[in-house]
Amino acid sequence: MWIFDSTLLEIVLRAVIIYLVVLVGIRLTGKREVGQMTPFDLVLLLLIANAVQNAMTGPDTSLTGGIVAAATLLIMNAIITLLVWRQRKFRHLVEGTPTILIHSGKALTKNLDKEKVTLEELQQALREHGVGDIEEVSQAVLEIDGSISALRKDEMPSVARPHHRIRFLKKKS
């Protein structure tokens, strides 16, 4: 029978702290980084994993210490996933919110700068959607997963066009 001594409790506490610090760090890098992992990002992720390994278990390199650390990380992930699923505010805090990059054929440079997306990267994403010119786009959005979605002006259904929605909202006021 395992005796849950202070060393194992320390591993749990260390793993929780490391999980939260790494989660915040990844969140602060922005949507773009998570959605578009480059070889450099993969190397960084592997190095972070190696760096925090010893910080989680401390001097306890036993099988039990490893199992406790792994179980703690899995439980933390399950808790965070449940909170993200049930709490909208927490979801926005952890995952962020989509950012509009193009509206009515105009690139929103303030949002591009905020998300660290260059005009060239935006144009590349539009070409991947079969769009040759920013002016053809009704709306392009940097999604929370780092991908860019785009809706051409000619593909936008009339009921979803912004001026129709605004008129409808004004009638209800």
Structural domains of the chain, ranges and CATH numbers in brackets: 6-95 (no CATH), 99-172 (3.30.240.20)
Per-residue pLDDT of the chain (173 residues), as tens digits, is: 455 566 889 999 999 999 999 888 877 776 655 556 677 777 888 888 888 888 888 888 888 888 999 999 999 999 998 998 999 888 888 888 899 999 999 999 999 998 888 899 899 989 988 888 999 999 999 988 888 889 998 876 655 555 544 444 444 44
**DSSP string for the chain:** -----HHHHHHHHHHHHHHHHHHHHHHHT-HHHHHS--HHHHHHHHHHHHHHHHHHHTT--SHHHHHHHHHHHHHHHHHHHHHHHH-HHHHHHHH---EEEEETTEE-HHHHHHHT--HHHHHHHHHHTT---GGGEEEEEE-TTS-EEEEEGGGS-GGGSHHHHHHHHHHH-
What's the pTM? 0.62
